[in-house]
Amino acid sequence: MPTLTPYVFLSCARAVLILFQWPVLNTIDLHNDLRLSQRAHMVLAWLVHLYVHSTPVSGNDDKPSRVPRSLTIPLVQISRHLGFAPVLTFADTVLWNWELIDPALPVSIDNMRFTNVFSGTEDEVNFYQASARAELRGVEILRIMDEFYSLPNLSDFTSISKLARDLTRLAGIIDSISDIIQSVRPECDPHTFYWDIRPWFEGSDAKGPDSPGWIYEGIEDSDSLDLSGPSAGQSSVMHALDIFLDIDHKLRQRRYPAPSPENKRADHGFMDRMRRYMPGKHQEYLRHVSGSSRSIRELAQSTPALREPYDAAVHALKRLRDSHLRIACLYIVTMSRSTPNSRGGCPALAMIDRLRAARQAGQGPVRGTGGNELSVLLKAGRDATRRAMLKPN
């Protein structure tokens, strides 16, 4: 598929009509081929978001968006096969959205070209690239975890020294992911992100629980589908890291310092919900590591040589969430007070109309994926991380 920018796609009124007339394809022939199944999910999910967000506003923006059967039926079918949400996800925008520039060379960030972008901007490419860079770094995290879970013995001197070294290395990897998150600042303009890129990501519930949402034509239980948009919160690497370090996002453990009233009112189900937006195999992996009887935190509690290295890794993750919070505030909270630039042409025009209407109506809290109150959510994650430390400072 060529680069998918709305500016080269179709004129909007025609697109709406054509999509309602398209045949409903069966995806069953793709199910034996993982790559083709992933590709089908990616293409269909991109089309759904392109369709919803470029459909002209009909005067009454309180009506739900109806998505045609030609998109919804194959997307729901392929999503059920892959075991995850029938909507644009982190996998569609980052994990599967690239090709090798030179197929003879190995996978590396310099050898990856992102194929689909909504806005046609370099900023959008750079945004996906930052997440991909974090994922590539994340592979080292998964290796450290894997070695921990498969060590034959956790009590001998060699194993403890190895774990201490690995935890120290882990802290360095987490710090480098913080640097990657900060690197979006010069490469992705906050205003472009907020007004030209992010609106395309919005899912059915982006405007909060009482918003009209989307109806998937031809799907019986359309209102029970997971239809929030993509988020790096759907990266399985970050969830794996949380499981490994035993970060208690759900406030189930008694830890210090006690959660603030704001922490308590945050959406504690967010991280669990985000898992439904990860490919089924990723969810399976996370269930597998969650089910392990080994806990690096418990081991560190009872092994003086591991306490500091463990705390250093947790502290690095807390720093990551601090710097991510600053980025999210700059790119979303601050930009929500700015105004969109005018840009002519359909479907960009339809999008701008929506944004203006939302801007005028928008007195409510600034929301993230799934309509969460953003800063409350991210601060709660940061504070839950800090509470994992054995010796909080």
Q: Which residues bind ligand HEM (CB under 6 A)?
A: 127, 130-131, 134, 177, 181, 184, 188, 193, 231-233, 235, 238, 321, 324, 327-328, 331-332, 368-369, 372, 374, 377-378, 381
What distance lies between CA 325 and its chain's CA centroid? 15
* Nearer of residues 238 and 300 to ligand HEM, judged by Cβ: 238
Joined together, the tokens standing for residue 248 give 């208690």
Q: Least separation, in Å, of the C-beta of 279 and ligand HEM?
A: 16
Joined together, the tokens standing for residue 345 give 């042409």
DSSP 121-162: -HHHHHHHHHHHHHHHHHHHHHHHHHHHHH-S-SSSHHHHHH
Q: What are the residues whose beta carbons fall under 8 Å from the beta carbon of 308, sequence distance 6 or more?
A: none
* Nearer of residues 244 and 331 to ligand HEM, judged by Cβ: 331
* Nearer of residues 38 and 234 to ligand HEM, judged by Cβ: 234
- Please name the residue ranges forming H helices in the chain: 12-21, 34-54, 69-82, 90, 122-150, 157-187, 190-192, 198-201, 236-245, 261-265, 270-275, 280-290, 296-302, 304-328, 348-361, 374-387
Q: Least separation, in Å, of the C-beta of 356 and ligand HEM?
A: 21
What distance lies between CA 332 and its chain's CA centroid? 15
* Nearer of residues 145 and 328 to ligand HEM, judged by Cβ: 328
* Nearer of residues 6 and 368 to ligand HEM, judged by Cβ: 368
Using CB positions, name the residue nearest to ligand HEM: 368
First to last CA, the chain: 52
* Nearer of residues 218 and 259 to ligand HEM, judged by Cβ: 259
Q: Least separation, in Å, of the C-beta of 224 and ligand HEM?
A: 21
What distance lies between CA 192 and its chain's CA centroid? 19
C-alpha span between 11 and 55 (Å, rounded):
10
Q: Least separation, in Å, of the C-beta of 14 and ligand HEM?
A: 33
* Nearer of residues 40 and 173 to ligand HEM, judged by Cβ: 173
Q: Least separation, in Å, of the C-beta of 160 and ligand HEM?
A: 29
Joined together, the tokens standing for residue 28 give 């069953």
Q: Least separation, in Å, of the C-beta of 34 and ligand HEM?
A: 24
Q: Least separation, in Å, of the C-beta of 239 and ligand HEM?
A: 8
3-state secondary structure of 257: coil
Q: Least separation, in Å, of the C-beta of 22 and ligand HEM?
A: 30
Q: Least separation, in Å, of the C-beta of 319 and ligand HEM?
A: 12
User: Taken in order 104, 89, 55, 21, is the CA torsion positive or negative?
Assistant: positive
* Nearer of residues 77 and 369 to ligand HEM, judged by Cβ: 369
Taking alpha carbons only, the member of 138, 134, 135, 116 closest to residue 125 is 116
What distance lies between CA 393 and its chain's CA centroid? 30
* Nearer of residues 50 and 177 to ligand HEM, judged by Cβ: 177
